[in-house]
Amino acid sequence: MLLLITALSLGFLGSFHCVGMCGPIALALPLDRSSTTRAVGGALTYNTGRILTYALLGILLGLAGKSFVIAGYQRTLSLAIGFLLLLFLIMPQQFKSSVPSLRIFQGFVTRQKIAIGKLFQRSSLQSLFLIGLLNGLLPCGFVYLGLASALTTGEALKGAAFMAAFGAGTLPAMLTLSLAGNTISLSVRNNIRKAAPFVMGLMALLFIFRGLNLGIPYLSPHLSAVSDLKHNCCHK
């Protein structure tokens, strides 16, 4: 339960970053606004596709993290993620800006944007769902943070559940933006986005605290190695 609450909270706080960064896509969605029901249905369809992509990525990251748990590296992984997040926060802006522009990312992002652009030419539930699926693959710092959290779960289902809950946490802000985004000024969206580094810093500290293995329930539980994993398996 705590895992899902954490994911929902991270998604909700991260959605303020999305308002500033992903706003153009949400604002320009080809929704059928002939009625409120159709507009809401279209916005929900778009977000369903986006959350599905997050969940599928969560499965992959959860599976990838399983090897770290079995090898007893869960603590090291949690600490490494925390310190990397802090390093990213203090990194000069010019270096942060250069990361998405790396050639390996640039080509992928360009293809995604072209595909999304074509889908914007059609106003249908299918196109909105596909826009959401593709949008979930676009670079986003808070999605990366969510995926890093999914990696530490060490299980496919837990990773999927974490990312699905993360996506659900973004729903209030993203639905509001899609349906009534024109009432939110650019300056307000930019001010909201300024809160993102503080949220990321808090999550970095939580990762580090968790990796310290202090034995504090929920906040810093004992991240056991292979012996405890075998113990759990034998008692199922």
Q: What is the total count of domains within the chain?
A: 1
What range does the domain containing 159 cover?
2-234
Q: Tell me what pLDDT residue 75 has.
A: 77
C-beta contacts of 68-76 below 8 A and 24+ residues apart:
68/151, 68/152, 68/154, 69/154, 69/229, 70/154, 70/226, 70/229, 71/225, 71/226, 72/224, 72/225, 72/226, 74/152, 74/154, 74/223, 74/225, 75/211, 75/212, 75/213, 75/223, 76/211
Condensed to tens digits (0 to 9), the pLDDT of residues 164-199 reads: 999 999 999 888 888 876 666 667 666 766 777 787
Condensed to tens digits (0 to 9), the pLDDT of residues 113-128 reads: 899 999 998 889 999 9
Q: Tell me what pLDDT residue 60 has.
A: 95
